[in-house]
Amino acid sequence: MRQNISGESPYEPVIGFSRAVRVGNLVYLAGTAPVGAENEDAAGQTLRVFEIAAEALAKSGAGFQNVVRTRIYLTHVDDWEVVGRVHGQFFSEIRPAATMIVVAGFINSAWRVEIEMDAVIPPVQDSTSFLPFFA
């Protein structure tokens, strides 16, 4: 079953995308930009991305603990360490597979970072259907 998760991006209806899509126990978070934090530095923009991502993940029934993959897009290579440190604030224990890429730019030229996330929600175990290995 597919569940489209909407966010607050003004671009969703124009472009035709969802902030996140949940299919079964998989959640795919679209490239998330720092909407509303255009005047912030790279660290502030990255924190804003994580705020938006947390809300979308929660709507899908997931959280940062479920994230298995991130893709970080930067417009300035010199931001890699600052953005990486913010990423580490959320993922130092979880440690998803991560990629960092420098790109030419985003739709809004003030944005310095955009992040995608993929999450896997563990299935809920039904204790009534559990059969012990040795009966």
pLDDT digits (tens, 9 = 90+) for 6-60: 997 777 889 999 999 999 999 999 999 999 999 999 999 999 999 999 999 999 9
What pLDDT shows up at residue 124? 77
Q: pLDDT tier at 123 (50, 70, 90 boundaries)?
A: confident
Mean local confidence (pLDDT), 100-120: 97
Percentage of the chain beyond pLDDT 70 is 92
Greatest pairwise CA separation for the chain in angstroms: 64
Residue 128 has pLDDT above 60, yes or no: no
What the chain holds in terms of domains, given with CATH numbers, is: 2-122 (3.30.1330.40)
For residue 125, which phi and psi values (nearest 5 degrees)? -85, 130
**0.85 exceeded by the pTM?**
yes
